[in-house]
Structure 1
């Protein structure tokens, strides 16, 4: 062979070999960088903790953040699609306040991560997906350690419990490996990467399980104490709440939730005149806690700013309080986003929703996080204005509150906001839109058979146009507690709902889970309510049957005021009117129309022949606002011929009736004065 040909052959062979060597080296370098980025975060967190001028055993432990890390390590792979994504996710977490032993245990998994990432690197997207889906089936420590709750209830863990549960974890980990190696859909190179790190993983798992159980036991103990405080606050036992909160803060002085609750309790005592405790004023103590909290947690300062605002309200410094409330409003959208974190500890405490008392705990916690109820900065300002009878300013703050809540990602307990306004500022909702009872929610199954969608419409029976209308549908589902609702914002915003018209807000997809049960049918809905917002109003909108039920419950034996009696005595009339439309000749050519004064609109009136809640009641076919009148129409009733039948008006203020006399043809001949 000629020398030139031989040289050419060597070059031809060498080029791909060199390329493979360079490519392999480049791959190793890139993967090592990814691993190093995670390790660096761990090491920096450890260095930061070691720099704190305290004894090693006295360093403040952020137990909530530690438990969150365990949740990430258990479930983080579920929210990612590859080891590459998972490594990026780990590298962006905050590890400050987490014990060194937990970080050291996690670092021992880095070789396994590196092996998985290396095998994943060369797979195509389909192979990569199969590989990662297999990884996702690995042992779930939450399930492995399910006896945790029973053991915690006995007062803690003994070494036998630790060993037993850790053994279960290692055994499950071994089973996971065996299943992976049997899976024919997984590439050989990927299996090899896992198998090479099997012993290291199982050793890690035995150590990690013990750590997990240790800190989860501490977490359960803290939750019991905090829950006790929430329930004591709900029962008005503030000293009973401070006792467990002080116990938590003695062990975990940086626990943010307990700091906020303690501040709330101290301010409550100050407001009630129980301001002195020893030599320390409760209000000033709360102020100091809150100032320190804001300094340490500027990224979640919204509830602390709110509470600090209430401190200055108590001090009579309304200007400073207003500024703090405004700051809190700015921060709350960011605060509420934290509830979307799937690793939030309350997402792992779904059992609390299975009792009314658990709802008390969750509602108070979420009110702090979302800024509703007492923790609404706008409601605080609104109540100050309301108590000064500055209703216009109070109304403006209420609208601001709902604007913020409507634009936050999380808006559960929206109904409780409406109830808060009704309880503490009862005149405001009617002032916002007096004609609210003339808006009707209509929900229905859009098909003739099973449906996982709910159609939603609003009928406007008023003579007012509504503009820029957003709707929040509130569903009470089967198996829910009596006052519990699922709140969803409809995607459709209606530009204008004209007087005497309907607006379609589209269909809501039903696909929810409650206590492990699927709720995916209109048959799972017990009742529905809605809240609508526009640029200038916020109001309830209920289905007609809900309105009737509420009126029947509330009116009881109430009597009309003198002003209402005068209006009903002087401002009522009737007529028999020709019906319009092609079918009038078939179903009858006349209808009964009564005219009542528009001023009754604020009383949410219902009109019926016979008592409203009786099974034989004849309800109005149409009730609309028309200028100065409420026009009430009934279909002509042949059974009323030659009779006198009572026409009832049922309102929030009370009820009364007019005797209506009919001739032999069923036409009205006489309307009596109001009787009650």
Structure 2
């Protein structure tokens, strides 16, 4: 009998121990009675205050609401510590955020306090923050702009599975004590409950945001395609749903400014005409004259920009720039420059506020899977960061170039890249370069460091003792084939790899810079990290080099030859003729020179000589250094004739000339071809009876 009693007692003790060990009797924290800890109080107080203020307002700002939702998830997954995340939450501006989003986020604080208690209880468990980060970040699915919620689709069972996998992974890595494990189990359950309650709220506003994005995307695409009336209609639909939407106001203003230039006055809506009259009577429009009033598109755009600045003074830089564009089109160059200068001051100061929504764009990763999607992201980024077409410095550069002030135009280009350097120059570096090449060729090309005379070379870095190659690191070298001393050299690699769109690049800044690269010298940058890319996946690499007063593209020898052939074909391609013709006209205009003038300079200043050798002679041709602005590629005989084309064995800049050396002397009169994207020439090298050569006819090809 005693044995049975002892056995039953042991069973009871075992069951009790199991219950004590495995069952958590603690109850979830009641939010009504919840008092935040000292660490959580500032962030919690900000949310509480925002909730109280939201009760006094009607409506909400959908973009501000989405920004807060997405920025919290980004911060939770990327913050290095619990304290960093709390500080981030306390710094946020919650004005305009939907009340139910704020209330849902408030329920996260008991979890944060529980986590803080765990951290205080046992120092070695301070990494419990990593557990919550893992629950948010490990299961990322950025396809619709959300993280864990997108993956789980709001399904409670799936939510539980996702959170459990993260917490279980953490428990396997941590030596948990019994009480801490029980608290962690409670934290797990509360986090699942939080996500289950938050998911419907999240999807409600993301659905509204996605519908808004469709109209905005359509406006961007129509602007890109030149369908200005359609772009105006799309921006109107945005403003009908959200009358003070930031992007909607800017998009409508852009469409109207371009329509005003085309004098398409009928597109202005009667409602806008009525509002224009109200603003005119009230004297609210800051500046206008007869030409503005005579153009309802311009007047409406001006009213919208003034309205935008009044609504968003801390994000006014894009509107100030568009004001400058409008004034320039009206012929008010002095006013335009004043607006551009003000925008250049405001863009760096407002950079963080202007790019708050960028995560919402980038997290729609389907945009990166199409050319049009890339355009949308880049257009938005340019608008909000003052890059490309939205650069106030580029706008001033174009204005000064049109006035014939080339030095002032170049100075503005320098200022742009200096300003962008302080805002992270890599963001829009490619589009900035392309914009300068396309629209500021006359000012920009002289700044290009005579790019065809600096060569890029790259190869995989060698492993220890030269045994094999490192696939994620490369050695890069720059060879200067000119007499120019290049100072303060900074290099950005533009890497194109398999799976990328043909015009897309990843930009990697080489951490090392060179103080000086002397004439005819080579600078080597060893062991440059390109991870996670692998060298075998790279299809090509270009480099952008910046110095104190020069900016240029660099390519290797093979690419330069390909570019020469592509440029020659493009000049004869009807589809590209208009673009190249416009670019060439601008280049000639800015340099105050014509095609005939260039031909005359080449004929008068070029020289040719020959030398005899033991087995064969050599030919030396000097052409004006001015041609280095065109990034020329030179051959004797046409480049397409691979059997007869002679490429110079030495090609360098010396003084006022480009010196070309060929390792053989043609038997008879021949032609020297000078290829470039904008304009190409053929020089007739005439051989006399005594074997000497002279420059004959020079003509454009």
TM-score by length of 1: 0.80
The residue aligned with 1:439 is 454
Conserved? CA contact 2:142–2:363, under 8 Å: no
| 2:360 matches 1:345 | yes
* Count of paired positions: 608
| 2:610 matches 1:575 | yes
Conserved? CA contact 2:489–2:547, under 8 Å: yes
- Candidates 258, 261, 265, aligned match of 1:271: 261
| 2:322 matches 1:307 | yes
Q: How big is the shift at 1:259?
A: 2.1
Conserved? CA contact 1:245–1:261, under 8 Å: yes
Taking a change above 3 Å as real, the CA distance of residues 364 and 659 of structure 1, as seen in their structure-2 partners, is same
SS in 2 for 1:41: helix
Give me the whole-angstrom Cα distance separating, in 2, the residues matched to 1:148 and 1:631. 56
Taking a change above 3 Å as real, the CA distance of residues 628 and 96 of structure 1, as seen in their structure-2 partners, is closer
Q: How big is the shift at 1:220?
A: 1.4
The residue aligned with 2:682 is 656
Give me the whole-angstrom Cα distance separating, in 1, the residues matched to 2:325 and 2:508. 31
Conserved? CA contact 1:145–1:165, under 8 Å: no
Give structure 2 stretches of 5+ with no counterpart: 1-33, 277-295, 463-467, 573-593
Give me the whole-angstrom Cα distance separating, in 1, the residues matched to 2:126 and 2:358. 25
Taking a change above 3 Å as real, the CA distance of residues 186 and 328 of structure 1, as seen in their structure-2 partners, is farther
The residue aligned with 1:23 is none
Conserved? CA contact 1:339–1:410, under 8 Å: no
TM-score by length of 2: 0.77
Give me the whole-angstrom Cα distance separating, in 2, the residues matched to 1:406 and 1:392. 21
Give me the whole-angstrom Cα distance separating, in 1, the residues matched to 2:603 and 2:145. 70
The residue aligned with 1:497 is 517
The residue aligned with 1:33 is 38
SS in 2 for 1:34: coil
The residue aligned with 1:220 is 210
The residue aligned with 2:219 is 229
SS in 1 for 2:97: coil
The residue aligned with 2:23 is none
Taking a change above 3 Å as real, the CA distance of residues 459 and 197 of structure 1, as seen in their structure-2 partners, is closer
Taking a change above 3 Å as real, the CA distance of residues 254 and 352 of structure 1, as seen in their structure-2 partners, is same
Q: How big is the shift at 1:486?
A: 1.9
Q: How big is the shift at 1:32?
A: 1.2
Conserved? CA contact 2:143–2:364, under 8 Å: no
Taking a change above 3 Å as real, the CA distance of residues 469 and 426 of structure 1, as seen in their structure-2 partners, is same
Give me the whole-angstrom Cα distance separating, in 1, the residues matched to 2:358 and 2:692. 71
- Candidates 458, 473, 483, aligned match of 2:478: 458
The residue aligned with 1:593 is 620
SS in 2 for 1:532: strand
SS in 2 for 1:362: helix
The residue aligned with 1:548 is 561
Q: Which residues in structure 2 correspond to 1:388-537 (within 5 Å)?
A: 388-432=403-447, 435-447=450-462, 449-512=469-532, 520-537=533-550
The residue aligned with 1:152 is none
Give structure 1 stretches of 5+ with no counterpart: 1-28, 53-57, 150-156, 513-519, 579-584
Q: How big is the shift at 1:228?
A: 0.9
Conserved? CA contact 1:475–1:525, under 8 Å: yes
| 2:371 matches 1:373 | no
Give me the whole-angstrom Cα distance separating, in 2, the residues matched to 1:139 and 1:602. 53
Give me the whole-angstrom Cα distance separating, in 1, the residues matched to 2:675 and 2:91. 58
Conserved? CA contact 2:383–2:390, under 8 Å: yes
Give me the whole-angstrom Cα distance separating, in 2, the residues matched to 1:427 and 1:175. 60
Conserved? CA contact 2:637–2:673, under 8 Å: no
Give me the whole-angstrom Cα distance separating, in 1, the residues matched to 2:39 and 2:244. 32
Give me the whole-angstrom Cα distance separating, in 2, the residues matched to 1:45 and 1:282. 39
The residue aligned with 1:539 is 552
The residue aligned with 1:153 is none
The residue aligned with 2:129 is 132
Q: How big is the shift at 1:526?
A: 1.9
Greater CA deviation, 309-318 or 166-175?
A: 166-175
Q: Deviations over 1:188-224 (max 9, x none)?
A: 3433323345554443322211111111111211111
Give me the whole-angstrom Cα distance separating, in 1, the residues matched to 2:141 and 2:652. 62
Give me the whole-angstrom Cα distance separating, in 1, the residues matched to 2:362 and 2:154. 27
Give me the whole-angstrom Cα distance separating, in 1, the residues matched to 2:324 and 2:376. 23
SS in 2 for 1:456: strand
Conserved? CA contact 2:481–2:652, under 8 Å: yes
Give me the whole-angstrom Cα distance separating, in 1, the residues matched to 2:84 and 2:596. 71
RMSD: 3.7
Q: Which residues in structure 2 correspond to 1:201-212 (within 5 Å)?
A: 201-212=191-202
Q: Which residues in structure 2 correspond to 1:615-630 (within 5 Å)?
A: 615-616=642-643, 617-630=645-658
Q: Which residues in structure 2 correspond to 1:27-426 (within 5 Å)?
A: 32-52=37-57, 58-59=58-59, 61-124=60-123, 126-129=124-127, 131-138=128-135, 165-166=155-156, 168-170=158-160, 172-173=162-163, 185-197=175-187, 199-275=189-265, 277=268, 278=270, 279=273, 280=276, 281-337=296-352, 344-426=359-441
Taking a change above 3 Å as real, the CA distance of residues 128 and 269 of structure 1, as seen in their structure-2 partners, is same
Give me the whole-angstrom Cα distance separating, in 1, the residues matched to 2:96 and 2:324. 29
- Candidates 598, 604, 612, aligned match of 2:631: 604
Conserved? CA contact 1:475–1:527, under 8 Å: yes
Taking a change above 3 Å as real, the CA distance of residues 550 and 37 of structure 1, as seen in their structure-2 partners, is same
Give me the whole-angstrom Cα distance separating, in 2, the residues matched to 1:342 and 1:450. 38
Greater CA deviation, 536-545 or 165-174?
A: 165-174
Taking a change above 3 Å as real, the CA distance of residues 76 and 610 of structure 1, as seen in their structure-2 partners, is same
Q: Deviations over 1:364-413 (max 9, x none)?
A: 11111221222010111122222222222222212212222233214334
The residue aligned with 2:27 is none
Taking a change above 3 Å as real, the CA distance of residues 402 and 383 of structure 1, as seen in their structure-2 partners, is same
Give me the whole-angstrom Cα distance separating, in 1, the residues matched to 2:217 and 2:509. 30
SS in 1 for 2:658: strand
SS in 2 for 1:446: strand
SS in 2 for 1:495: strand
Give me the whole-angstrom Cα distance separating, in 2, the residues matched to 1:470 and 1:164. 48
Give me the whole-angstrom Cα distance separating, in 2, the residues matched to 1:418 and 1:174. 48
Taking a change above 3 Å as real, the CA distance of residues 187 and 296 of structure 1, as seen in their structure-2 partners, is farther
| 2:661 matches 1:633 | yes
Q: How big is the shift at 1:505?
A: 4.5
Q: How big is the shift at 1:599?
A: 4.4
